[in-house]
Amino acid sequence: MAPGGGVSSCKELVESWQKVSRFDTTNIHDELEKSITCIGEKFQKCSIHELLECPICRRFMYPPFYQCPNGHTLCTNCKIEATDFCPTCKVELGNIRCLALEKVAESLELPCRHQNLGCHKILPYYRKLKHERHCKFRPYHCPYAGSECSIKGDIPTLMLHLKEDHKVDMHSGCTFNHRYVKSNAQQVDNAIWMLTVFDCFGRQFVLHFEAFSLGMTPVYIAFLRFMGEDNEAKMFNYSLQVGGYGRKLTWQGVPRSIRDSHGKVRDCQDGLIIPRSLAFFFSGGNGEELTLKVIGRIWKESA
C-alpha cells in the first residue's frame, strides 16, 4: 500500500481534470460567445428591419401590428385594405394582434432613416417616426414653383436638378438687377414667371416672381426663399426695389426657408407686392407690355 502515491496520483488526476475542464469550459464559452455574436449580428443586420417592415407595403409598422393565424404580419393600413384575407397566405385574417413583435419594437433603438443624408441620431423605434418628420436632414422638396415637381433631395442634389431639369438661371453674388418683361400683361392673372437662383455667402437663395390675384386686384409678387433651414434663413436679410419713371417701391424682408412652400409664402404675402396698375406706371408703357426692373440685395444680419 502506498497511500502517499495514491494521494499523489489522485491529486494529479484532479489537477489534470481541472485543467481539462477549465480548458473545455473556456472553449465552450468561446464557442457559445461566437455563436451568440453571430446570431446577434444576423438579427441586427436583417431580421430587425425585415421583421418590423410590413411585408405588404414595405413600410415600418407602428402599433397595432397584426398577424394572420399562420403568423404573417401586416400593418394596420394593410390590414384595413386586405379586409378579410391574409395577403400572404389568403387564409381568413381575423383580428389577431402581434403583441410580442410590438414589444420587441419598443425595446429597439434604430438610426434615423435620413442617416445617408447626414443624421446620426439613434432613437427608440416609436420615437423615430416623429423625429423623421422634423429631422433637419430630411430631403427638401424642389423649390421650383408652378410644376408638380416631385423631386426631393439635399441642397446639392436640388441645385443640380434646378440647373439641368428646370434650366433655371443661376447667379453668383449678393446683388442683382433683373428685368422682367411680359407682353399681353393684362391677360396674365396667374402666372409664375421666373425662378432665379443666387449663390451668395456660400449659400443658395431662390427668387420668385409671379402674377396672382389679391382678392380682385391683380398683383405681382417677388420674394426670396433660402435653400436651408428656417433658423439659418433668419440670419439673412434681403431688399427688393422696383421702379421707373420717377416712382419706386422698396421691400425689405427675411428670406423664407424652402421648407415653407412657395404657395404658403405667396399666400401670406411675405414679399414685395406690386399692384398691376402700379407696375404699368413703372414700365412707362401702354398698359400692354410690362417691363419691370427689380434691383435686389442679400446680406447677412450681424448678430
Residue of 51, 53, 62, 88 interacting with Zn ion (CB under 5 A): 88
Q: Min. distance of Cβ 48 from Zn ion in angstroms?
A: 17
**Other CB atoms closer than 10 Å to residue 66's CB: what's the count?**
24
Residue 171 binds to Zn ion (criterion: CB under 5 A): no
CA 103: distance to chain centroid?
28
Q: Min. distance of Cβ 166 from Zn ion in angstroms?
A: 6
As a whole number of angstroms, the distance between CA 261 and CA 203 comes to 19
Would you list the DSSP string of 187-204?
A: G-SSEEEEEEEEEETTEE
Q: What end-to-end distance do the CA atoms of the chain give, in Å?
A: 99
Nearer to Zn ion, 119 or 240 (CB): 119
Residue 51 binds to Zn ion (criterion: CB under 5 A): no
Q: How far is CA 182 from CA 193, 220, 262, in A?
A: 9, 12, 21
Q: Min. distance of Cβ 149 from Zn ion in angstroms?
A: 3
Q: Which stretch binds Zn ion (CB under 5 A): 4-12, 79-87, 197-205, 213-221?
A: 79-87
Residues touching Zn ion: how many (CB under 5 A)? Answer: 20
Residue 37 binds to Zn ion (criterion: CB under 5 A): no
| Encoded amino acid at 45, one letter | K
Nearest by Cα to 197 from 208, 186, 212, 188: 208
Residue 57 binds to Zn ion (criterion: CB under 5 A): yes
Q: Kindly report the CA angle at 284 between 279 and 286, in degrees rounded to 5?
A: 90
The bridge status of strand 247-253 relative to strand 256-257 is: unpaired
Residue of 20, 32, 89, 99 interacting with Zn ion (CB under 5 A): 89
Residue 86 binds to Zn ion (criterion: CB under 5 A): yes
Residue 75 binds to Zn ion (criterion: CB under 5 A): yes
- Tell the residue number behind the cell numbers 434646378, with chain if given: 162
Q: Which stretch binds Zn ion (CB under 5 A): 10-18, 35-43, 65-73, 246-254?
A: 65-73
Q: Which stretch binds Zn ion (CB under 5 A): 26-34, 84-92, 204-212, 213-221?
A: 84-92
Nearer to Zn ion, 33 or 81 (CB): 81
Residue 266 binds to Zn ion (criterion: CB under 5 A): no
As a whole number of angstroms, the distance between CA 60 and CA 101 comes to 12
User: Which DSSP category does 123 fall into?
Assistant: E
Residue of 48, 78, 159, 214 interacting with Zn ion (CB under 5 A): 78
Residue 98 binds to Zn ion (criterion: CB under 5 A): no
Residue 135 binds to Zn ion (criterion: CB under 5 A): yes
Cross-sheet strand order for the sheet of 247-253: 175-182, 290-300, 236-244, 247-253
Nearer to Zn ion, 77 or 239 (CB): 77
Cell for 58? 414595405
Contact residues for Zn ion, defined by CB under 5 A? 54, 56-57, 68, 70, 72, 75, 78, 86, 88-89, 112, 114, 119, 121, 135, 142, 144, 149, 151
